[in-house]
Structure 1
Amino acid sequence: MALVLVIFLKVFFLLVTEGSLVNNSISYNISLGSYLTTLTNPSWLSPSGLFAFGFYQQDDGFAVGIWLTTKPEITVVWTANRDDPPLLLNSTVEFTRDGWLVLVTTYGEHKSIIDQSDPATSASMFDSVSSVSASQYSSGRFVLKMQDDGNLVAYPQNSSMWDSDAYWSSGTLSGFYESLVLNRDGSLYIKGYADVQKVLNPSTSSRLKKNETIVFRATLSPQGNFLLYSHRFTNLSSNSTRVMEWEALQDPCKAKGICGVNSYCSTTAREAECHCFPGFSFFTNSSNGKFLGCYRNFTDEEACSRRGLQLSYKITALDNMEVGAYPYSDMNLSKEACINSCLDDCNCWVGLYTNGSCKMLKVPVIYAELDKSKLATVFIKTSFPKVKDQQHEPPAPLEIPEQNAVAERKKLVSILAITLGFFALMCTLMAFSSFFYYRVHARRYQRMSENVDFGLLSDHFTLRSFSFEELHKATDGFKEVIGRNSIGEVYKGFISEGTKAVAVKRLHTRMLEGDKRFQAEITAIAQTHHRNLVRLLGFCIHGATKLLVYEFMSNGSLADLLSNPETQPGWQERASLALDVARGILYLHQECETRIIHCNIKPHNILFDESWTAKISDFGLSKLLRPDQSGTLTGVRGTTGYLAPEWHKNNLISTKVDIYSFGVVFLEILCCTGDMEIEISRDDKMSLFTWVYNCFEAKELKRLVGDEEVDMYMLEKMVKVGLLCVQDDPEARPLIKDVILMLEGTTDIPTPPSPILSLM
């Protein structure tokens, strides 16, 4: 059976008009086959022109919705598919000839705008619109919910929606309800099967004037307050006056969770101010960002294990607090005992004390409010480095009698003279020994170099020590530069009488950490042998000059491949390439004798040999791990954009930093781009994550690969793996062996959360 489709709101924005300017019985009919575009025909208007439906500007794109045509800015009252990313140019809204209202994206994807069970014969835009819905869920941080008992209740979005989480209710307990109605006079009431109960009945600020139209709008604000506005239009003009007629909360801090997790709200001049708990920091310091909550720079598990790293703890007390959280322990203790119990429990980060009740909490704390009427005290545990005990001052020397002073001085001078003479003799002997040792070993290294046949490489090939003169000659005086970065320059050269090409890296002096450390690390790297690692062939130590000799990779780097449209790999090649890189990292992390954290995985360090096999290169920033080590402390290493967040937090660095860098590279391989030109800045890698995640959430993965024909099931699987690898929390990233298993299809892939703010 055909239906008549009326464009109306299906979310909790209620609007009604009052006035006599227009004949509301007249509607603008929208015929089958009509359509809207983002540029030429963006909207359909109501008869009065006060309401519009269609495309409106949002961020750098467009959204589809209904709005009041107020000036200078429109007042949006409803948005279709509100959690989707902004639409691009050339998107259309079509009222198809077979009676369906659909959105067609730039990429040809069809999306439903409203719920339709049957096709329609026509559509109209009215001047009086309102909504009726069994429950109302917003995509923001707060939600208004119509409960089964007829009570309209406001909750934080990310709460359990128990009675203790509610911060406002209408108090309309009417049993079963039928509808929620905003009347023409601005009153809001709930209509049940047997009765009607008013939610609010405000008196408008002034009476209706001649040639004036009033539009009432009820909305849940981003700060969680339920508000009623009136918009007054005169002479059919879009110029309007907005007046707030009623608000549910007089104190903005009563909206539980307004300041986000791990923070508390205080009210000053009816404005909400957000404060982090001691030891926590805002996710962002922008004025609006302070409502997003606060974080610590390490997790509970790390805190428990850090006791051995000379950390201590203290308690900061905050009185007159109301806290919303779920304790894991609730005991009857005194205030002092409550504090000590939290200090001794590595899982306790927040304690809540009220009249002998001691509750212990983990983080995050969902919400907290400073309220002078409350008696609860909150204890926040913070960590700080232990201060070593000051050693006792050495006892003051005994006073020497004057008659013995001269004898004591002579004795001291004799001892010093004998000691200095002995050290001078030892230094002379060591100098001669070092000279002869160097001469003997220099001849030995020279004989070894002369006897090695570099044309016969085998699995048992050992690292070769080159002389500086050999490499100077091999590179024609370091003439041909084939690469350069912050670590050093790479030159092309030829050894074995000019028959074998090699790459010679000359390290910058500032990057070196001593000859012994340099030799230890290159010895460990020399023991690595894998088809997906560039082979280190030899080295040279010539005073302060350090050089490394690698096998030559004839087909350039992944960065070159992705940046050139003519050489970009196809879909199958991309999948194979990603697996090659992952297998190389697996060898470094788990299979070689000394585990290695590469620390600088990026497209420039992934090279291709003559058969286009991908190999990881450049171990100049690598860190070695002992078998019993899970991580190490070191300064920031690597390239901006590929650095894991823990580099900047002075945390232990583990193999998970390579997983993060691999995730960035993996997403670039999937999108087949070395610099994101589609709405994303190349220098902001987080924008890449956001873009990919939004496409994944919106099920628009086709946007990542354009017109290229790909296996969409495989693409989705690979995108999920890439997003798992770039999580802010290292514990949320998979091990590289699990990455390979997921890519090969032998294990399930969990749905990744957003990579931003994942430590909340």
Structure 2
Amino acid sequence: MASKLLILLFLHLLPLTKSQSPAPNITLGSTLYTNSTPNSWPSPSGHFAFGFYPSGNGFKLGIWLVGSPNNTVVWTSRRNETVISPGAALAFSADGRLLLHSTDGQVQPIAETTPQASVASMHDSGNFLLYDSSWTIIWASFNFPTDTLLVRQNLVVDQFLYSSISETDASIGNFKLLLQRDGNLVAYPIRSYTDAKYVYWSSFTANSGRNVTLNLNADSRFYLLNSTGRSIKNFTEGRYLADNTKVLYRATFDADGILRLYQHQMGTEGSLGFTILWTAIREENRCSVKGICGENSFCTIDGAKLSCLCPPGFDFVDPNQPNLGCKSNFTVMNDCFGKKGNANYMSPLPNTAWEVSEYDVLTQVNEETCSENCWMDCNCVVATFRDQICYKQKLPLRFGRRNISNPTKTLVKTRSFPSGLPPDTNVVPTKITNKLSKKHVIVGIVIITFSVLVSLFSGYLLFSHRICSYNVRTGQLNSSDVLIEEINLRSFTYDQLVQATDNFKEEIGRGASGKVYKGSLARNGGQEIAVKRLEKMVDETEVEFRNEMKIIGRTHHKNLVQLIGFCSEGSKRLLVYEFMKNGSLATLLFKSKKRPVWNERMRILIEIARGINYLHEECETRIIHCDIKPQNILMGESWSAKISDFGLSKLLKPDQTRTYTTARGTRGYVAPEWYKSNAPITVKADVYSFGVVLFEIICCRKNMELAVPDEEIVLMDWIYECYVGGELGKVVGEEVVDMAELEKTVKVGLWCVHTEAVQRPSMKSVITMLEGNVVTPVPPLKPCSMYVNV
């Protein structure tokens, strides 16, 4: 047994530049034919053959595993070219070239070789080789993999496997498998950029060093190996040293975009059975392959059967090829400029979702409002409703899938039909038409009522007009009245807030722009409030304050503390917020006897990210918070995270993406650009602060701690060193956590605290990475002053 293992090791390490004992030779002048014998050159055992195999109405040139009832193709030359017509020939010419002679007289080289070949050979390994006169290998099919790896064949860095169109068509299909330079093996659709957001499967071996290879051993071990000879990932452990006259292995990136390891049992009379030893994606999760179904369709699995289906209102592009996708049976142009009454159904599609690509988001709405808003928007085709948030999407819809374990409420816009109902009897349309009819009736009643009462109000309106005119002439118009009208906030007098807070008796916090006091509104059932006295308003003009309040008053998000009202009297400026009785995140993380469990901390982290993203992307005007820290993140009744103290931080004008201002925020959380002379400040400053908070949430400790070992004092530096050293378990101590999720979260944090603002991700990208919708790329190695603390 030991001698066999030594021989195997020797064979594995032997370079492809020399061959120790070539198979029976294919001599110069040998020729293969499509229509007559010989049409292939077999290996010594007869298990593999190189030559012409049938494909469609012609032939392809390749290598196959011989078997009955069907051969298994493992390599194909010129995959994307048209099939070879009957009558063609392959010649190993007298001058040592492998040439394809077509029936139209064209001659094409199959292998580019320098120097010229003297001998060819088809090996029992499945490798077709060309040798020079000194028996040095000058060309090998193993060096040009297509969709399959065989035993002793390696996939190296920057090399692809491309799936085939189908089991019977070896042309390049829809998916590609890449071994990245960072050592990560990833799969993604072929019609996409090499971008992490398109990856649907990964080996999670990033940052594994250079020159990683994917290997398949004769004992069925399938693994990734680094340049030092250390195995960094075993997909299979290997079972035994197989007798290759009876058992063969292959790893194939199949037409459905899934990498699988097969075992072939060589039977009697040429029979060839196979067993799947390992699969990258489980059969029940095949719909997670992005692009398995075409645009505007969705993938569903029923038992072993995978199907591509069209949503209501869509038809297959080609009914004979459902995987090509679907097309709408009405056009957006018709909906926008035609009779909108035609599109009067929002059809529910249970547990179905497409790629996150919303162009508009509505917050604090119910399902009915979400449905109606999409119906009235000519660009909206699909609306997804979740957690009082409505996500609106337009065509094309990509990477759709039905997932029963992840229920979602998805509504698809469809058109009415002559019968008044869609042909799909399983669809229950949302009754928007009826609702609108009721609205018309209500509007009619209101108009009639108004016409009756208008005369009664005419005198009052005339009187009010005169009073208003007088106030304008004398400069007595109350600016807060105008503000109330424009933003629908309650205006408080200063005396009312003095009474509500018992003369500002109980201080519950303080921020960069003032102190916060607890109070209650007796006139509102004793509602508890938090009143913030703005102390740094000396340079603020009345116009600036009013403009900012207009914007703040329109912010509504479940992860932002709700602004109830304000006070603007003379130089006094106060803001009234909802009261958060569970205190701040700082108390929860740093002062609790028992730290929150890992899953709760991850939920809180994503909620914070969503709140910041709302300020950055979804407000009427972008808001840079400028002071993201645990003390400014408050916990609601259900322990949901809500960002506070965002009101007057820094508001960008509609045409602004950056601003120039003096440093503000809290030491330890502020981005380095705040301290650079004339450096522009963008929303990426908040991303940096979020990264610091992320690390604090992971470890339940402050960014700077002195009562710890020296190497742990600065939290982000310590976490980075643990990440690089492969010791991330240290940062959570004895707590049991999902290590893959921990690594992902740490990588997101390291990107967020990059010293260069342009390198930091947007908060929207942060959310998609944290939620696992995309693979998080490896952060750059730490150069001098890569991550800083100020």
Q: Structure 2 length normalisation: TM-score?
A: 0.43
Q: Structure 1 length normalisation: TM-score?
A: 0.44
- Structure exhibiting the larger radius of gyration computed from Cα positions: 1
